[in-house]
């Protein structure tokens, strides 16, 4: 009997381990793709340049996705180490990446002539990558959508009929399609809070996708928060958090003269968020032909090379703020193993790990796999503190690692 219970527990454990959970300090790929990629200015081009609907929407003619291969996009995500993708099903301009019955303003009716979301969903399944959807509440195409309570709105044009009831029905019809026809959707990223409280949207999403997690920018309280382009204060997150940032400093969508983030910036920002306990969505914007700019592809690969070496420092760990006095050092821990993260960059070739005062069996620089020397010593800078001997790790080739976040593993 005892043995049976034991086997049962073991099997249950295995099943639980096999189950995919979104919030395990994961990296995801954010994809902003739509007709804004044609002019290559910014995904909010119409609002930021104050274009009329007709003028902006001429861009549709250039959206051909001629060289788009969904498997390449998913492979690029995997090259970064991402294990889920969040795609802009619809951005503020109202253009839909999927074949929808609700409007002709969609990819299948554009020169692309295909349901691009369907292709992405199939490639995700083939390559074992999970899929999530971004959906903009502002919609600059749908004639009923204008919402004066919210932001990112473009004033109605002649012939529009602002009518929130009709727009809500439109959103629901679209969400029904999106969450019924593309297999498993692990998360829903509503964008721009509509400032209209209506729990039925998230209820509908959960009914169609029972496992779905929903962000905090929607029609009622969601499951997780979504800080973008910055690091929230503190050393550890207290609620589910998925931070996002882009390889492009200016735009989320494809931008021809983009200022690309350095790999140092990207790895440090990912390291900081993951070590604080959050997920991280790293964004790219494909071009109108469906290919990724070379600069983006390169950055995904470089982030991936760094992440492959440091990833173990985020797996099954807890964040343990305060166990090292250095405010530049973020610490995660798994049992007797401690990981030191330096997402603000290293200012010197060694670190004072006060008040830690035990010598680890080994100290390993994960970036290179090389062993680091360490000692218990009285650090001269601590002479007023009476700390006694503290742990000192040194000999870090900090200058060689200036372009990536440094992670050190201590095995006790
Ligand atoms: C902002 C922007 C939007 C972008 C999003 C990504 O809300 O309005 O363009 O898609 O951030 O998080």
Q: Is 152 in the pocket of ligand 1 (CB under 6 A)?
A: yes
Q: Is the pLDDT of residue 16 over 60?
A: no
What dotted CATH number matches 2-313? 3.20.20.80
Q: Give the mean pLDDT of 120-142.
A: 98
Q: Ligand 1, closest atom to CA 92?
A: 9
Percentage with pLDDT > 90 across the chain: 94
Q: Ligand 1, closest atom to CA 91?
A: 10
Q: Is 225 in the pocket of ligand 1 (CB under 6 A)?
A: no
The confidence score (pLDDT) of residue 308 equals: 98
Q: Is the pLDDT of residue 137 over 70?
A: yes
Q: Give the mean pLDDT of 49-61.
A: 98
Ligand 1 center from residue 228 Cα (angstroms): 8
Q: Is the pLDDT of residue 8 over 80?
A: no
Ligand 1 center from residue 191 Cα (angstroms): 7
Span 143-166, pLDDT tens digits: 999 999 999 999 999 999 999 999
Which residues make beta-bridge pairs with 408? 340, 365
The confidence score (pLDDT) of residue 5 equals: 52
Mean pLDDT of the chain: 95
The confidence score (pLDDT) of residue 19 equals: 87
Q: Is the pLDDT of residue 315 over 60?
A: yes
CATH 2.60.40.1180 residue spans of the chain = 320-411
CATH 2.60.40.1180 at 320-411, yes or no: yes
pTM, rounded to two decimals: 0.95
Span 96-105, pLDDT tens digits: 999 999 999 9
Best residue among 140, 153, 225, 252 to mutate for probing ligand 1, ranked by most atoms within 8 Å of CB: 252
Rounded to the nearest 10°, the torsion over CA 14, 16, 18, 21 is -160
CA 370 to chain centroid: 30
Best residue among 41, 228, 253, 282 to mutate for probing ligand 1, ranked by most atoms within 8 Å of CB: 228
Q: Is 44 in the pocket of ligand 1 (CB under 6 A)?
A: yes
Percentages of the chain per state (helix, strand, coil), in multiples of 5 = 30, 20, 50
CATH 3.20.20.80 residue spans of the chain = 2-313
CA 279 to chain centroid: 6
Label residue 108 exposed, middle or buried (CB < 10 Å: 0-12, 13-18, 19+).
middle
Nearest CA to ligand 1 atom 12: 228
- Write out the DSSP string of 393-408: E----TGGGTTS-EEE
Span 230-276, pLDDT tens digits: 989 889 999 999 999 999 999 999 999 999 999 999 999 999 999 99
Question: What's the token pair of residue 368?
Answer: 């290179």
Question: What's the token pair of residue 372?
Answer: 């680091």
Q: Is 189 in the pocket of ligand 1 (CB under 6 A)?
A: no
Nearest CA to ligand 1 atom 4: 252
Q: Is 300 in the pocket of ligand 1 (CB under 6 A)?
A: no
Q: Give the mean pLDDT of 358-386.
A: 96
Ligand 1 center from residue 24 Cα (angstroms): 24
């Amino acid at each position: 009997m005892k043995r049976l219970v034991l086997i049962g527990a073991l099997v249950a454990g295995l099943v639980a381990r096999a189950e995919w959970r979104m919030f395990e300090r994961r990296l995801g790929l954010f994809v902003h793709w739509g007709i804004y990629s044609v002019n290559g200015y910014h995904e909010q081009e119409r609002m930021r340049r104050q274009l009329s609907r007709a003028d902006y929407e001429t861009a549709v003619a250039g959206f051909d996705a001629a060289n788009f291969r969904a498997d390449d996009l998913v492979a690029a995500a995997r090259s970064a180490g991402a294990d889920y993708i969040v795609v802009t099903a619809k951005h503020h301009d109202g253009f839909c990446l999927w074949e929808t019955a609700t409007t002709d303003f969609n990819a299948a009716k554009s020169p692309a002539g295909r349901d691009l979301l369907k292709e992405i969903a199939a490639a995700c399944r083939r390559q074992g990558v999970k899929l999530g959807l971004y959906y903009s509440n502002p919609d600059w195409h749908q004639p009923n959508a204008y919402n004066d309570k919210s932001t990112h709105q473009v004033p109605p044009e002649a012939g529009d009929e602002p009518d929130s009831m009709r727009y809500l029905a439109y959103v629901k019809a679209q969400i029904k399609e999106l969450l019924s026809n593309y297999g498993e959707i692990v998360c829903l990223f509503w964008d721009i809070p509509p400032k209209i409280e209506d729990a039925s949207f998230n209820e509908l999403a959960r009914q169609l996708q029972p496992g779905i997690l929903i962000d905090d920018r929607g029609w009622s309280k969601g499951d997780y928060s979504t800080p973008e382009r910055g690091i929230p204060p503190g050393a550890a997150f207290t609620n589910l958090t998925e931070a996002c940032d882009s390889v492009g400093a200016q735009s989320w969508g494809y931008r021809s003269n983009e200022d690309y983030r350095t790999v140092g910036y990207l790895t440090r920002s990912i390291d900081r968020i993951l070590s604080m306990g959050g997920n991280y969505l790293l964004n790219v914007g494909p071009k109108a032909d469906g290919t990724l700019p070379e600069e983006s592809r390169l950055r995904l690969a470089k982030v991936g090379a760094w992440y492959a070496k440091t990833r173990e420092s985020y797996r099954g760990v807890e964040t343990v703020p305060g166990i090292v006095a250095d405010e530049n050092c973020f610490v995660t821990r798994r049992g007797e193993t401690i990981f030191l993260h330096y997402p603000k960059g290293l200012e010197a070739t060694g670190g004072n790990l006060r008040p830690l005062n035990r010598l680890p069996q080994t100290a390993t620089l994960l970036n290179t796999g090389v062993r680091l020397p360490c000692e218990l010593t009285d650090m001269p800078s601590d002479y007023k503190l009476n700390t006694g001997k503290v742990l000192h790790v040194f000999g870090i080739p900090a200058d060689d690692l200036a372009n990536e976040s440094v992670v050190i593993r201590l095995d006790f």
